[in-house]
Amino acid sequence: AIGAYRVIGERSGTERALSEDQKVFFANNRNDRSVSPGETDFVEAAAAVTPGVVHIRTTYESTASRNPWEEYYGAPQGVARGSGSGVIITADGYIATNNHVVEDASSIEVVLPDKRTFKAKAAGFDPNTDLALIKIDGSKFPVEKMGNSDVVRVGEWVLAVGYPFSLNTTVTAGIISAKGRSIGILDESRGGPRQQTSVAIESFIQTDAAINPGNSGGALVNARGELIGINSAIASQTGSYAGYGFAIPVNLAKKVLEDLIKFGRVKRAFLGVTFPSPLAEEQFFKEQGINPGAIDGVYITGVQSGSAAAAAGLRAGDVIKKIDGVEVSSSAEFS
């Protein structure tokens, strides 16, 4: 028993699961959050979260062609520098951000709220969720505490924290406007139409907290200062805040980031079914003569031969209502 204890105790932090790292860190670094979800005073929550949200500056050797992210954020063509935000998730310097913030960057610089500057290296990318992981050298960095995005509710108060327009740490407040949103930007950013077989996963938390260019990769937190999402996109005709911001749920991000830490890539299990994409779901039902309101779950349009779904007996026309006891009411939630 003593030997096993020593072996486990000597493992590096990257060998532990990300959730275990979080438990260990906050067991040894207590930061009681006295703010209740019903209060609108965010002073304690803002103080708890801002130390772990960083400014990311990127440079590029050559400019890429214009893509839908530039349309959302109003980025000019011909630029050689970029700016975004990131969230520290481990004390030894792993930082979560958006894929579009650091993808194709020739160099990445991280500036902490206390003005310390670090050169960062890419640790993994996942375009399917627009998440990326970067690493800075050091220890005892402030870590953002992860919450549970599955239990957040529409109407709940939230804070968006980041570096909009390269300003210093900025905190804005709003509410959760919707959950499970799909806006089609992940497939568009890769130059292709949305297909039934798309592997992009969009189930954004929508908020009216002000999110602007530079907020990408920053934190969306609840009134207790717990991270519930990674800010990713805005819907705007001008490229600036228009009341609609979107964040990647932390429960989805946690799985992706943990895989990037362990393997440098994301490992996914495929059920082996096809279903209408979220944006085309209603139109598909109408074409099939099906009342969309009659489908309480995810309508399966096809099953791949030899897949887990085929082995389980799923067939085209079936409706998946729950996964492991958790109800799913849309294809975005299902993904």
Q: Which amino acid is at 92?
A: D
Concatenate the DSSP letters of all residues of 74-103 into one string: TPPTT-SEEEEEEEE-STT-EEEEEHHHHT
Q: Are 287 and 266 in contact (CB under 8 A)?
A: no
Active-site pick, 83, 100, 198, 277: 100
Concatenate the DSSP letters of all residues of 243-301 into one string: S-EEEEEHHHHHHHHHHHHHHSS-------EE---GGGHHHHHHHTT--GGG--SEE--
Residue 130 appears among annotated catalytic residues: yes
Q: Are 87 and 52 in contact (CB under 8 A)?
A: yes
Active-site pick, 182, 216, 232, 236: 216
Q: Are 100 and 68 in contact (CB under 8 A)?
A: no
Q: Are 96 and 133 in contact (CB under 8 A)?
A: yes
How many residues appear in the chain? 335
Q: Are 295 and 288 in contact (CB under 8 A)?
A: no
Active-site pick, 21, 126, 130, 259: 130
d(CA 327, CA 306) in angstroms, rounded, equals 26
Catalytic residues: 100, 130, 216
